Amino acid sequence: MRYLSKVFQPVITIPKNAKIKNTEITCKSQKLLLECGLIRPSGPGMFTILPLARRALDKLEALIISSIETAGAQRMSVPSLTAASLWEKTGRLQEVGPELMRMEDRHGKKYLLAPTHEETIADLLSDVGPLSYKQLPLLLYQISNKYRDEHRPKHGLLRAREFSMLDAYGIHASEECARSCYGTVCEAYSELFRRLDLPVHKVSANPGEMGGSLSHEWQLPAAAGEDQLALCRQCERAPLSDTCDTCGGDVLTVSSVEVGHTFILGTKYSSPLAAHYTPASGAPQPLIMSCYGIGITRLLAASIEALSSETQLRWPAPIAPYSVIIIGPKEGSREWQSHGLESINRLCDRVSVTHDALIDDRHQLTIGKRLMMADRMGYPNIIVMGKASLENPPRYEVYSRNATAPRLLTDAELLAMLDGHSVQQNVISNKE
């Protein structure tokens, strides 16, 4: 049983009509995450992820893991510390330059806190290789914190110095094999964003210092985004020209956030680091590599940026910290006499069989006050034990993000609704 009063959530309360001037808060996702007690700054571009946001990230990671493993990926972990000499061999030490977090150990050996791990993977493959062509293709991935010495970190988790990221690496014997794997992983990406119900667009991109023959960015429209995305006004697709080739609609440019990037890298990393495979005949050849990244903490913040209002959090439903919150009667009320904490706990037990439920046990507060707070937090389903709970059978007020108005539902109807079944629309009128 989980009670809201026990959740570590240091909410920042701003007095009504107060004018707050804080130039460090530059977008609504940053503002909402801070004010709702979900993150806490620990330095420029660095944040402590507090329990409710951690729950959301855990759910997001689980979805990402499911998607990438459906594409055939195998999970592994590599050190965050990378020898600078590997980046010297590929030329990226000079190309990336100031963004790298660098350090030396007590013996004077130079390292960096890696923002990405192409060199590390290529060095691993060189160490265990050459691989046989029969072992290929391979798709390896990891989820870990990455580091970037941002010149001007801003927008909270959208541009931070430390961030969580999935990076996956394809290892192939041919360009054809790499393109086949690329298509499979891109479809896994598309399915992930469909499950999150986010309008993420795959757009062609310049490979930049990453190098390679093919590159796509995955862009989510959001006002705080630092990128620009062309979208059709009519069908909201990302066209390649000034007129959408799908529907003929006009195109407008919107701000967007890059939440993922995919590349076919070729031999840029395998050649200088001697990562080879042995073909069916002939001498060993450099491996063809591809890579796939998703910024996990950035995706969390970008989804809030895209879905929320200025004052209310809205999550993709699958990653809300809790899918249900239960608000019981105010202590001492007539409803409390019939439906006190024991009755609330029993309802939570029934709901928790299939959903993660939280009880707002601050019963000294009015139902209205707690309902307002729950709505600000963006819980997908809010269950209120109000006046109708005294009826026979008891009925509960249910506020769901996918419903246009609150409804009055019995136990059985409530459970059916939460499981995705349609129920009779007993809409609460204004008089009630």
pLDDT tens digits for the chain (432 residues)? 589 999 999 998 766 665 655 557 889 999 999 999 999 999 989 999 999 999 999 999 999 999 999 999 999 999 999 999 999 999 999 888 788 999 999 999 999 999 999 999 999 999 998 999 999 999 999 999 999 998 888 899 999 999 999 999 999 999 999 999 999 999 999 999 999 999 999 999 887 777 778 999 999 999 999 999 998 877 877 776 677 777 778 889 999 999 999 999 999 999 999 999 999 999 999 999 999 999 999 999 999 999 999 999 999 999 999 999 999 999 999 999 988 899 999 999 999 999 999 999 999 999 999 999 999 999 999 999 999 999 999 999 999 987 888 999 999 999 999 988 766 656 565 444
**8 A C-beta contact, residue 219 and residue 227:** yes
Query: In this structure, are 302 and 333 located in the same domain?
Result: no
Q: Measure the CA angle with vertex 201, ends 307 and 141; round to 5°.
A: 95
Query: In this structure, are 283 and 372 located in the same domain?
Result: no
Q: Measure the CA angle with vertex 271, ends 266 and 273; round to 5°.
A: 125
Query: In this structure, are 171 and 299 located in the same domain?
Result: yes
Spatial strand order of the sheet with 81-83 comes to 81-83, 110-113, 101-104
Beta 74-75 vs 138-147: how paired, if at all? parallel
312, burial (CB in 10 Å: exposed 0-12, middle 13-18, buried 19+):
middle
Query: In this structure, are 192 and 303 located in the same domain?
Result: yes
ω into 318 cis (within 30 of 0): no
Query: In this structure, are 108 and 190 located in the same domain?
Result: yes
**Domain end among 282, 307, 332:** 307
Instruction: Please report whether residue 371 resides in a domain.
Output: yes
pLDDT for res 13: 77
Domain tally, the chain: 2
Query: How many C-beta atoms surround the C-beta of residue 115 within 10 A?
Result: 20
Beta 201-204 vs 81-83: how paired, if at all? unpaired
Residue whose C-alpha is closest to residue 146's, from 122, 134, 162, 132: 162
Instruction: Please report whether residue 388 resides in a domain.
Output: yes
pLDDT for res 1: 57
Query: In this structure, are 64 and 204 located in the same domain?
Result: yes
Query: In this structure, are 364 and 299 located in the same domain?
Result: no
Report the alpha-carbon distance of residue 432 to residue 430 in Å, rounded.
5
Instruction: Please report whether residue 76 resides in a domain.
Output: yes
Q: CA separation (Å) from 237 to 192, 219, 229, 253, 344?
A: 18, 12, 10, 12, 46
Instruction: Please report whether residue 246 resides in a domain.
Output: no
Query: In this structure, are 375 and 274 located in the same domain?
Result: no
Scan for tokens 């160490």, then name that residue.
127
**8 A C-beta contact, residue 9 and residue 51:** yes
Instruction: Please report whether residue 174 resides in a domain.
Output: yes
Query: In this structure, are 300 and 335 located in the same domain?
Result: no
Identity of the residue numbered 82 = T
pLDDT for res 431: 44
Query: In this structure, are 135 and 202 located in the same domain?
Result: yes
**Domain end among 273, 307, 341:** 307
Instruction: Please report whether residue 10 resides in a domain.
Output: no
Q: Measure the CA angle with vertex 191, ends 185 and 193; round to 5°.
A: 105
pLDDT for res 22: 58
Please report, for the domain that includes residue 281, its CATH number: 3.30.930.10
Report the alpha-carbon distance of residue 224 to residue 203 in Å, rounded.
19
* 3-state SS, one letter per residue, for the chain: CCEHHHCCCCCCCCCCCCCCCCCCCCCHHHHHHHHCCCEEEEECCEEEECHHHHHHHHHHHHHHHHHHHHCCCEECCCCCEEEHHHHHHHCHHHHHHHHCEEEECCCCCEEEECCCCHHHHHHHHHHHCCEEHHHCCEEEEEEEEEECCCCCCECHHHECCEEEEEEEEEEECCHHHHHHHHHHHHHHHHHHHHHCCCCCEEEECCCHHHCCCEEEEEEEECCCCCEEEEEECCCCCCCCCCECCCCCCEEEEEEEEEEEEEEEEECCCCCCCCCEEECCCCCCEECEEEEEEEEHHHHHHHHHHHHCCCCCCCCCHHHCCCCEEEECCCCCCHHHHHCCHHHHHHHHHHHCCCCCEEEECCCCCCHHHHHHHHHHHCCCEEEECCHHHHCCCCCEEEEECCCCCCEEECHHHHHHHHCCCCCCCCECCCCC
Query: In this structure, are 292 and 352 located in the same domain?
Result: no
Instruction: Please report whether residue 312 resides in a domain.
Output: no
Instruction: Please report whether residue 230 resides in a domain.
Output: no
Please report, for the domain that includes residue 374, its CATH number: 3.40.50.800
CA 31 centroid distance within chain: 17
ω into 406 cis (within 30 of 0): no
Query: In this structure, are 115 and 187 located in the same domain?
Result: yes
Residue whose C-alpha is closest to residue 330's, from 389, 381, 377, 375: 389
Q: What is the residue range of 67's domain?
A: 23-224+256-307
